[in-house]
Amino acid sequence: MKIMEIEGGKDLTGTIRISGAKNATVALIPAAILTDEEVTICNVPEITDTDSLCDILKELNVDYKRASESIVINPEKMKNVEIGEIFSKKLRASYYFMGALLGKYKKVVMYFPGGCSIGARPIDLHLKGFEALGAKVTSEGNKYTVEAEELKGANIYLDIASVGATINIMLAAVRAKGKTIIDNAAKEPEIVNVATFLNNMGAKISGAGTSTIKIQGVDHLGKCFHEVIPDRIEAGTYVIIGSLCGNPLKIDNIIPEHIDALLSKLEEAGVSLEVGADYVIVQKQEKYRSTSIKTAVYPGFATDLQQPFTVLQTQMTGKSKTTETIWENRFMHVPYLKDLGADIMVKNQTATIAGPTKLKGCEVVATDLRAGAAMVAAGLKAEGKTTITSVEHILRGYEQIVEKLTNVGAKITIKEI
């Protein structure tokens, strides 16, 4: 078991370089099997979610080579075998192999995906999308078989603008016969990144990044070279950390417009920001104004930044509110923030945070990936030592977090116990 120890209360000065986006990478790797030719993806983050997807590639007999920040995938000798539950439950994004295998072989057998316990996380919209394309879905407990004689383009309206369902339907539809239209599609930048990748392979997708995506099916996808976009959630997490401890902290290699909603809220709170073409410099201030947020689909305030933001709200003067609209169970970090000294009350889907409060280090748990990021942010601000357990959740999504923070002056280590 790994634990993280942080000696908090230190100013952080210097530059943190942001890695490739986890949520794009986890779709791009499964998408790569849609061809039989070699695909190179660069700016791939070294996180355990990437490792877990490579384990699935191995199961499918797909050749791949990983080098620093890149992966070369060659599915020439691939076999469409059942993906065991042990692999699918390691991460949510294992479900992208459903769309990709269905698209390529018209059949996939795999289990319900795992991932952070932040809500029920059903996959009904993905399955309905596959059915609309002509597939038959059968399930036996957790095990799903999705198969079709032929996939045919269809008009699909998503009841919820789901990121996962949008990408999965795109993966299944790129090699279907005819035209698919996804309405009320999600608009997240990761979707645009995946659509660009597929188009580079020869797909015909238009409208990614808007709520209507059109996919004209093609027979063949070929080789390509592709770059993962910078991780907007990692970027946002470090900008929030900079607002707490930066003196000053530069967050580099980012696309600032991807975190516009966060930057506006930080400005409202009184954080000092310099926003450049591909960076943000953040300088902490003595006092912040109370600022409320409500999570929403992109370009709204990202739910994945909600938990780290609540840490900053503990340093604001007066009452701030955070309302979570995407996930039912995303306040699991709150009891631990309270242990650290925060004054927070949660009612229904809204947390009310009274501040400013002094945070004091103690033992806390990373209950999920972004709750873990919140614990790191709080530990860096708190006086004294914070020990975080279940660190594995954090390592699923933050590349070299210890090294990146140590380089800017944090006292942070991970120990195996």
State the residues that interact with ligand UD1 by CB under 6 A.
23, 26, 92-93, 119-126, 160, 162-165, 186, 303-304, 326-327
Contact between 222 and 201 (Cβ < 8 Å): yes
Element spanning 4, H or E: strand 2-7
Residue 69: phi, psi to the nearest 5?
A: 60, 20
- In 3D, which of 286, 362, 287, 292 has the Cα closest to residue 320? 292
| Minimum separation from the CB atom of position 202 to ligand UD1 (A) | 24
Query: Distance from CA of residue 222 to its chain's centroid?
Result: 27
| Minimum separation from the CB atom of position 272 to ligand UD1 (A) | 28
| Minimum separation from the CB atom of position 92 to ligand UD1 (A) | 5
| Minimum separation from the CB atom of position 347 to ligand UD1 (A) | 19
Q: Any residues with CB less than 8 A from the CB of 351 and at least 6 apart, and which?
A: 310, 321, 322, 323, 324, 331, 334, 344, 345
Measured from the CB atom, the residue of 184 and 317 that comes closer to ligand UD1 is: 184
| Minimum separation from the CB atom of position 315 to ligand UD1 (A) | 24
Given the residues 116, 224, 245, 362, the one annotated as active site: 116
Measured from the CB atom, the residue of 327 and 398 that comes closer to ligand UD1 is: 327
Q: Is 54 a catalytic residue?
A: no
Chain residue whose CB lies nearest ligand UD1: 164
Measured from the CB atom, the residue of 202 and 230 that comes closer to ligand UD1 is: 230
| Minimum separation from the CB atom of position 100 to ligand UD1 (A) | 14
Angstrom distance (rounded) from CA 33 to CA 327: 30
- Any idea what DSSP says for residue 228? P
141 by Cβ neighbours in 10 Å (0-12 / 13-18 / 19+) ranks as exposed
Query: Distance from CA of residue 217 to its chain's centroid?
Result: 28
Q: Would you state the structure tokens that stand for residue 98, as one six-digit string?
A: 């459903």
Measured from the CB atom, the residue of 38 and 324 that comes closer to ligand UD1 is: 324
Following DSSP, what letter does each residue of 133-193 receive, concatenated?
Answer: TT-EEEEETTEEEEE-S--B--EEE-SS--HHHHHHHHHHHTTSBSEEEEES----HHHHH
Angstrom distance (rounded) from CA 365 to CA 307: 13
Beta-carbon neighbour count of residue 155 at 10 Å? 10
- Any idea what DSSP says for residue 286? S
Catalogue the active-site residues. 116
